[in-house]
Amino acid sequence: MNNLFNLGYEMLSWKVHRALINARLEPFLGFVHSIQYGKPSLVCDFQELYRYLIDDFLMRLKMGKRIHLCEFETNELADDLNLFFNRMVEIPRIKVGKRQTIETLISEEALLLAKYLRDEYNLWIPRIPLL
C-alpha cells in the first residue's frame, strides 16, 4: 500500500509544482517544510492541502487488497489518478463557473496564494474540496 501512496503523492507533487511555477512562485522557498537542497519546500507545504484527497481516493480504490505494483498496475493506477484530478468539485472558479476540476482548483489556489504573498489580497483562505 505504501507504493500506492508514494505514486499518488508524487503525481500530486508534480501538479502542485506546475501550478506554483505558473503562479510565478519559487517552489523551493516554503514556510513549514525545511529548506534543503533539491527539496521543493513550498511544493511540500502547498500539497498538504490536498494530500487527504489522495489518501481517500487510494483507500477507496484498493480497500483491503494486497497490491504489488508491476508496470501494468502502475500505468493503470496513474491513469486512475489522472481521471481523479479531472474530477469536478463544487467550488466556484475565480472568474466564471460554479464547478471545476481538482487540477484547476490547485492551479487557482496557487494563483490566489501568489496574490496574497504579493499583497494584492489581504487574506487567503484556501478553498478545500469535499468529496
In a domain, 119, yes or no: no
Read off the pLDDT of residues 109-121 as tens digits, 9 standing for 90 and up. Answer: 999 999 999 999 9
**Domain hosting residue 30, numbered range:** 2-85
In a domain, 105, yes or no: no
d(CA 42, CA 33): 7
pTM for the whole structure:
0.86
In a domain, 23, yes or no: yes
Number of structural domains the chain divides into: 1
Read off the pLDDT of residues 6-56 as tens digits, 9 standing for 90 and up. Answer: 889 999 999 999 999 999 998 887 666 566 666 788 898 999 999 999 999
In a domain, 90, yes or no: no
In a domain, 49, yes or no: yes
